[in-house]
């Protein structure tokens, strides 16, 4: 488990990455809180920040901080920096979301490989409902200008981790991410709802 720290400490803890924080806050609003230590007081490799009211009232967006200090490899030997985010309704408990985000960030840094659009991080992550895995997507709830922060070299790309079911994960593997996103567009599920039902994949 990770230990939250209050809003009043946000600016102090985020000074080293101030520019990327300013980018986040310009689109997500002020930092509402964050997690940087375990319950035992041990420092985590990365911080997870919480922004209230983003993308809409009654929701929150959780974003990693510090992963972008690590350059990750793309196919073809190009490099990119990334931070990961999850957006959901306020009613869902933060702990499992924060833990999932942090674990995915640690794994990406360990492997040294960037997460690509359409890839899936296999769980389970202890999320509520029937969602088990995390699908990598463009953060379409936010303006295009949020998606990439160009103040780093190479630029930092924000990756939306969308909670999906085991069956949806299997569909992505068998049919491809383009087909999956077509179904998302046609069925228009509420992707902010961690307790949503799975898609109709027939």
DSSP 126-178: --STTEEEEEEE--TTS-HHHHEETTSSSPEEEEEEEEEEHHHHHHHHHH-HH
Q: For residues 198 and 138, what is the distance between their CA atoms, to the nearest angstrom?
A: 20
Task: Write down the pLDDT at residue 91.
Answer: 93
197 is a domain residue: no
Total number of domains in the chain: 1
194 is a domain residue: no
Confidence of residue 18 (pLDDT cuts 50, 70, 90): low
Task: Write down the pLDDT at residue 42.
Answer: 81
103 is a domain residue: yes
Q: What are the Cα distances from residue 136, in Å, to 34, 87, 104, 139? A: 22, 13, 11, 9
**Residue 202 in this model has a pLDDT that exceeds 90:** no
Range of the domain at 29: 2-187
CB atoms within 10 A of CB 136: 21
Confidence of residue 13 (pLDDT cuts 50, 70, 90): very low
Report if pTM > 0.85. Answer: yes
Q: For residues 200 and 196, what is the distance between their CA atoms, to the nearest angstrom?
A: 12
């Amino acid at each position: 488990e990770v230990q939250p720290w209050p809003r009043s400490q946000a600016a102090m803890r985020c000074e080293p990455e101030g520019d990327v924080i300013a980018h986040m806050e310009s689109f997500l609003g002020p930092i509402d809180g964050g997690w940087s230590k375990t319950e035992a007081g041990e420092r985590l490799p990365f911080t997870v920040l919480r922004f209230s009211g983003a993308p809409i009232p009654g929701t929150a967006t959780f974003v990693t901080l510090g992963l972008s200090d690590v350059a990750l490899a793309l196919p073809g030997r190009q490099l990119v920096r990334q931070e990961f985010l999850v957006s959901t309704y306020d009613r869902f408990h933060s702990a499992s979301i924060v833990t999932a985000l942090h674990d995915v960030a640690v794994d990406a840094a360990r492997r040294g490989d960037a997460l690509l659009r359409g890839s899936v991080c296999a769980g389970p992550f202890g999320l509520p409902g029937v969602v088990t895995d995390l699908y990598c997507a463009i953060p379409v709830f936010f303006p295009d200008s949020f998606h990439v922060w160009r103040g780093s070299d190479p630029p930092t790309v924000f990756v939306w981790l969308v909670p999906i079911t085991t069956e949806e994960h299997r569909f992505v593997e068998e049919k491809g991410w383009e087909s999956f996103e077509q179904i998302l567009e046609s069925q228009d599920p509420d992707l902010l709802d961690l307790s949503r039902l799975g898609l109709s994949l027939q």
